Amino acid sequence: MFWRSLSILAIVPLGLATPLAPRWEDVRVKHSWKTVPQNWECEGSAPEGTTIDLRIALKPHREEALVEALYEVSDPAHPKYGAHLSKAEVAALVAPHPDTHELVHSWLAHHGIPSSSVSTTHGGDWLTVSNVPVSQADALLGASYQVYRHAETDDTLLRTVGYSLPAALHDHVAVVAPTTYFGGPRALRKTLHPSPNAKLLPDGDALIRAEIAALEAIHGPGSAASVPSSCKSTVTPACLRALYNTTSYTPAATSKNVLGIAGYLEQYASHSDLTTFLNKFRSDAKSAAFTVTTVNGGLDDQSNPGDEANLDIQYAESISYPTPNIYYSTGGSPPFIADENTPTNTNEPYLDWLDFLFEQSTIPQTISTSYGDDEQSVPADYAQSVCSLFAKLGAQGVTVLFSSGDSGVGDGCTSNDGSNKSMFMPSFPATCPYVTSVGGTTGVNPEKAASLSSGGFSNYFARPSYQDSAVSSFLTSIGTEYSGLYNASGRGFPDIAAQAENFQVVISGSVTSVDGTSCASPTAAAVISLLNDYLLSQGKPTLGFLNPLLYSTGAAGLNDITSGSNPGCNTKGFTAVKGWDPVTGLGTPDFGKLQAIVG
């Protein structure tokens, strides 16, 4: 049902065995930008002695095997639904062609790279080549690594605007990184900003809780009418628990179930701020705590709490309590400053975090990430390779959620392929078909689309068959509107939505209010984590990759959002309608209904 390929970047199947003596000088361009990516300026060569760690993604021998297995275990109609794969089983599915390792190692040796510098990761389908001098990387890849500075943020990166590989390797190597991935203005763009007009509740939400209790006495828990109107201007955990019908559920599988939050950009989650937040907004959970796991030089600076990190952990914890929460603090973001102590520049946070995660014996069943880039700023081969790593997580039973973004149908709105074509601007990784993308809503009774909610259609990934019917219906409804500004055959996003405005957050001991789909992703993830808790408590497998469920039987467990739009690119954007739409997806979660569906 869901087994056809999702990628429009079709990879040429491996054919006959490569000759034993390849012509390494016969090179062909793997990827290049026509111009230096927007807002980046070349600062010149890297300092003497600079080295770089290269990651090489190897193409699988059986290209469709992972995707087919992913859909088998994720499609509620398939007999293998819920039979998630082990790490070893996934590794076998993505194993390269038998000739690949020997061929790639021969190429590296030809350029003087010792075998001791090469290690395998992700079960053998990725290689890491450590401490490669920049001059040697240039020769290896036909590249010209330079230091680039961002004109607005002053961030610096070591990158090349193009690279090549020997023709003999193109059927074996998917991508080499870091090369041409410049990323967004800060490499990973956080989707959060303060909400200036929200009412603050410095003394907690006792009044809101009292209102909810009174309304539930009249209408019953789980009723939309049990959410007070004050929640449309002041969002607290009590509002969300009432709105998404989780109030009456108490987690019972806390020895097994874990909720993970991925953090970047030196964003640190404060333990003391969480305690203050819970005392104000969920006093029965005031003893809750989270663990911090540092990745790739990430830090845990408790003196410097981040708004993004605090938002994520405070709402994930307050909705999922007492489920254990892990905050991953991943280093590797700009700026790049080479010196004797840190001569290596990689700055590939997604890959650093995923490398770490796949090496762990256990992985959280639900993971939320509130970061992303404009899709066009990410090289297509890089996007495809990272997206495949999320597919590996899904096949192992992990639910991965990403914020859809805060730019409506886009800002900037001009292609970077040299044509300067006007276009809507999709976000990555939200456009990856193997993650669940979360858009934003606002208000109560009824909820409507938040105007900031990014949504649209991918230019890199084809529309997956699990959403064929839903997306086709939407496209039929809008006819030729915005024709030419989006890819009508692309993967539609977001998949679902949650509240995204006026969230009360404690930062450095004080309450502030924030907006963004960064609010929506951890909220939705916490609800999904409760569903995973319920399944584990019943001795059942976790949900894993959600989308095939959501677009079939799971749709009945979502609150359809039918008003609001996501303006951008000098247009009014798309409009929320009955059924799926590229503003709020299929709608917002109702835990009680979803519990009945998955149970």
Domain ranges of the chain: 27-59+96-182, 201-334+349-598
Q: How confident is the model at residue 204 (pLDDT cuts 50, 70, 90)?
A: confident
Distance separating alpha carbons of residues 170 and 95, to the nearest angstrom: 16
Closest by Cα among 154, 139, 143 to 33? 143
Question: What is residue 44's predicted lDDT score, i.e. its pLDDT?
Answer: 94
Closest by Cα among 82, 222, 78 to 538? 82
- Check residues 152 and 229 and name the one with the higher pLDDT: 229
* pLDDT tens for each residue of 105-150: 999 999 999 999 999 988 789 999 999 999 999 999 999 999 998 8
Instruction: State residue 250 phi and psi, 5-degree precision.
Output: -115, 120
CA–CA–CA angle 572, 576, 581 (5° rounding): 105
312 is catalytic: yes
518 is catalytic: yes
Question: What is residue 190's predicted lDDT score, i.e. its pLDDT?
Answer: 55
Q: Is 499 helix (H, G, I), strand (E, B) or coil?
A: strand
Average pLDDT over residues 47-57: 92
Distance separating alpha carbons of residues 195 and 499, to the nearest angstrom: 13
Question: What is residue 209's predicted lDDT score, i.e. its pLDDT?
Answer: 87
Protein fold of 201-334+349-598: Rossmann fold (3.40.50)
Distance separating alpha carbons of residues 259 and 320, to the nearest angstrom: 8
Question: What is residue 339's predicted lDDT score, i.e. its pLDDT?
Answer: 53
Q: Which amino acid is at 185?
A: P
Question: For the range 69-73, what are the long-range contacts, defined as Cβ-Cβ under 8 Å and sequence gap of 24 or more?
Answer: 69/93, 69/395, 70/391, 70/394, 70/395, 70/434, 70/545, 71/1, 71/2, 71/3, 71/466, 71/548, 72/3, 73/395, 73/397, 73/544, 73/545
* pLDDT tens for each residue of 368-386: 999 888 999 899 999 999 9
Of the candidates 312, 495, 501, 590, the residue annotated as catalytic is 312
Of the candidates 72, 273, 308, 560, the residue annotated as catalytic is 308
Question: What is residue 507's predicted lDDT score, i.e. its pLDDT?
Answer: 95
Cα Rg, the chain, nearest whole Å: 24
Closest by Cα among 113, 123, 125 to 53? 113
* pLDDT tens for each residue of 559-572: 999 999 999 999 99
Of the candidates 377, 385, 437, 518, the residue annotated as catalytic is 518
Q: Are 570 and 515 in contact (CB under 8 A)?
A: no
Q: How confident is the model at residue 39 (pLDDT cuts 50, 70, 90)?
A: confident
Q: What 3 state SS string does 505-560 have?
A: EEECCEEEEEECHHHHHHHHHHHHHHHHHHHHHCCCCCCCCCHHHHCCHHHHHEEC
Q: Are 481 and 462 in contact (CB under 8 A)?
A: no
* pLDDT tens for each residue of 491-531: 999 999 999 999 999 999 999 999 999 999 999 999 999 99
Q: How many other CB atoms are found less than 10 A from the CB of residue 197?
A: 9
Q: Are 376 and 491 in contact (CB under 8 A)?
A: no
* pLDDT tens for each residue of 420-451: 899 999 999 999 999 999 999 999 999 999 99
What is the pLDDT of the chain when averaged over all its residues?
Answer: 91
Of all residues in the chain, what percent carry a pLDDT higher than 70? 91
* pLDDT tens for each residue of 237-291: 999 999 999 999 999 999 999 999 999 888 999 999 999 999 999 999 999 999 9
Tell whether the model's pLDDT for residue 4 goes beyond 60: no
Residue labelled with tokens 């149908």: 409
* pLDDT tens for each residue of 533-559: 999 999 999 999 999 999 999 999 999
- The string of DSSP codes covering 446-480 is S-EE-TT---EEEEEEEPPGGGHHHHHHHHHHHTT
Question: What is residue 341's predicted lDDT score, i.e. its pLDDT?
Answer: 44
Residue labelled with tokens 């109702």: 590
Residue 292 pairs in a beta bridge with 327
Residue partners of 61: CB distance under 8 A and separation at least 6: 14, 95, 96, 97, 98, 100
Q: How many CA atoms lie within 13 A of 384 on its CB side?
A: 24
Distance separating alpha carbons of residues 57 and 127, to the nearest angstrom: 7
Question: What is residue 63's predicted lDDT score, i.e. its pLDDT?
Answer: 86
Q: Is 336 exposed, middle or buried (0-12, 13-18, 19+ CB in 10 A)?
A: buried
Question: For the range 12-15, what are the long-range contacts, defined as Cβ-Cβ under 8 Å and sequence gap of 24 or more?
Answer: 12/170, 12/171, 13/63, 13/171, 14/59, 14/61, 14/97, 14/171, 14/172, 15/171
Instruction: State residue 310 phi and psi, 5-degree precision.
Output: -65, -40
Question: What is residue 296's predicted lDDT score, i.e. its pLDDT?
Answer: 86
Instruction: State residue 118 phi and psi, 5-degree precision.
Output: -110, 130
Helix extents (H) in 122-254: 134-141, 206-219, 237-243
Tell whether the model's pLDDT for residue 200 goes beyond 90: no
Q: How confident is the model at residue 7 (pLDDT cuts 50, 70, 90)?
A: very low
- Check residues 414 and 188 and name the one with the higher pLDDT: 414
Distance separating alpha carbons of residues 157 and 154, to the nearest angstrom: 10
